Chain A
């Protein structure tokens, strides 16, 4: 088991840096993980992260890429409602990298 240390506290992550306990998550931890991922968090990044967490709370899974792009398009404007924009925000892929920062488990399977 790996760990990360934020504000003097230690949190468990898996080998890839995904938080083990979803309840541990807070914005400081998100900022810390983002730094490890070389992602500079802007308000647009937070829109995505917050949507992911809201969706996860309801459905126990991250949203499909298409669901996410549609939601972001609604909130940030139609020119941003596409996966290309999401890849600009999260270069390693919106599904995996944004989930990691949002403290959600990694989507698995053929994705």
Chain B
């Protein structure tokens, strides 16, 4: 018998967690105040008649969105989605299986909108929309980041995100809103951005950045605000003005525009790319927020609209701005037509900042010193809304390839995380969909588990020390949760932060 028979060490396989029923039943975000609700046109509180309002809204949505009805009708409980949600993997709570999350609404749908559920509710798992059921909705629809990973694996293509959005829309109509999202939407309308950063503060912040970059590079890189006649309007998340590491990407965009000689401007009216109307599934808010961008573009007379590093904003911009606001073909009202004649249609409208930068790199318009990033071993975290709800460039998968191509052009050391955790199967950061709020930190930390496992593997095995993303939520979420997993918070940053490090401008010290 051969002497050297050896079994290889067992590998660590992805294992579905042990079930922990009810583990996250108590997790819920703060409720919006009556003032926050009323500012968005929602009832201030649950109060009398909430059930009629909720069911009325549900009926309206079922009539308006055929997709919702199909999703609620067609699930066969095959289980393909059950171990695909990062919140289920991180919490073990069975209601965080996408199918169970859908069933929270499906049971109510059957009771109130199908014959079988009206006549034999028990036989078909139908439930009345009671206060207890609503409370369960509030808890578990606020444990879905609307990242759509489960839908990739569903043989019917059921999109749990749309069900979650409908759930939030129904709860808002009943008078039960989520504070984090709804307070922020109010600020967008009142002040112009999610942060509540008024124009003068924005101007002061941008002026400071000009000084910083001058000191660092010697170049007069500008951060223009409200400049009429600029070619490009840059719309970016307000976190880019305020937070770290976000601001390093903003500096990167400015350096790219400077190096390429493109006249650009920010707008104080549209000083926010994010559109939380998406997260609460409310079309009116989605449109109202999107229209600010059109107003700013018309007011400033720009030829191009470019979107900064913000995941869900790019979904809204790429997939919805056309019909919401006439940015891109689709709008037919006079303002949409005026905008179409104003924009330079040789360019994509809108353009992602990564498309713009990659185009310049390919044309040799930027001078890049890759060695400047040699202290970094970089990996890329695909952000859910970019990966699964948009595209970049001219070929399928451009939204995966273009950010990676930029990273490879500006850094020498690049490593991929495990297949099955990136590209269209990417794991959410754990903070998307309106869950990036402190009272949900336990959920956020747990939801980050699958991404942290994939990162741990490349950090230990291949010395990765920088995870690049193109989303403000991902950046803020990882900054907060990385330390819980033993990583440094400075390990996360933007793709344009890497560009900023490598790019060489005309005048240098």
Q: Does A28 contact B (CB under 8 A)?
A: no
In the complex, A109 Cα to B238 Cα: how many Å?
Answer: 8
Q: Does A64 contact B (CB under 8 A)?
A: yes
In the complex, A93 Cα to B472 Cα: how many Å?
Answer: 17
Q: Does A7 contact B (CB under 8 A)?
A: no
In the complex, A16 Cα to B180 Cα: how many Å?
Answer: 12
Mask: chain B, 227-266; 1 = CB below 8 Å from A; 0 = not: 0000000000111011110110000000000000000000
Q: Does B291 contact A (CB under 8 A)?
A: no
Taking a contact as CB atoms under 8 Å apart, the answer to whether A59 and B200 are in contact is: yes
In the complex, A95 Cα to B242 Cα: how many Å?
Answer: 9
Chain B's nearest CB lies how many Å from the CB of A36? Answer: 14
8 Å CB contacts to A: which residues of B181-240? Answer: 183-184, 187, 193-198, 200-201, 204-205, 208-209, 212, 237-239
In the complex, A16 Cα to B30 Cα: how many Å?
Answer: 9
Chain A's nearest CB lies how many Å from the CB of B28? Answer: 12
Taking a contact as CB atoms under 8 Å apart, the answer to whether A83 and B244 are in contact is: yes
Q: Does B439 contact A (CB under 8 A)?
A: yes
Q: Which residues of B contact A111 (CB under 8 A)?
A: 195, 239, 242-243, 246, 476
Taking a contact as CB atoms under 8 Å apart, the answer to whether A109 and B274 are in contact is: yes
Q: Which 7 A-B pairs have the closest CB atoms?
A: A109-B194, A110-B472, A59-B201, A110-B239, A111-B243, A109-B195, A64-B242
Tell me the total A-B contact number using a CB cutoff of 8 A: 86
8 Å CB contacts to A: which residues of B361-400? Answer: none
Q: Does B436 contact A (CB under 8 A)?
A: yes
Residues of B within 8 A of A (CB): 30, 180, 183-184, 187, 193-198, 200-201, 204-205, 208-209, 212, 237-239, 241-244, 246-247, 272, 274, 310, 436, 438-439, 472-473, 475-476, 480
Taking a contact as CB atoms under 8 Å apart, the answer to whether A64 and B241 are in contact is: yes
In this complex, which of B184, B237, B244, B274 has the most chain A Cβ atoms within 10 angstroms of its Cβ?
B244
Q: A15-B30, A16-B439 are in contact. Are A60 and B201 (CB under 8 A)?
A: yes
In this complex, which of B196, B205, B242 has the most chain A Cβ atoms within 10 angstroms of its Cβ?
B242
Q: Does A45 contact B (CB under 8 A)?
A: no
Across the interface, name the chain B residue whose C-beta is closest to A86. Answer: B244
In this complex, which of A63, A64, A108, A109 has the most chain B Cβ atoms within 10 angstroms of its Cβ?
A109
Q: Does A80 contact B (CB under 8 A)?
A: no
Taking a contact as CB atoms under 8 Å apart, the answer to whether A110 and B212 are in contact is: no
In the complex, A95 Cα to B171 Cα: how many Å?
Answer: 31
In the complex, A63 Cα to B207 Cα: how many Å?
Answer: 13
Q: A16-B438, A65-B243 are in contact. Are A110 and B194 (CB under 8 A)?
A: yes
Mask: chain A, 70-111; 1 = CB below 8 Å from B; 0 = not: 100000000000010000000001011000000001011111
Q: Can you name 8 extra interface pairs (CB under 8 A) apart from A64-B241, A108-B194, A111-B242?
A: A59-B201, A60-B198, A64-B205, A64-B243, A83-B244, A93-B480, A110-B243, A110-B436
Q: A16-B439, A60-B198, A65-B244 are in contact. Are A110 and B204 (CB under 8 A)?
A: no
Q: Which residues of A contact B208 (CB under 8 A)?
A: 64, 66-67, 70
In the complex, A83 Cα to B490 Cα: how many Å?
Answer: 10
Taking a contact as CB atoms under 8 Å apart, the answer to whether A109 and B204 are in contact is: no
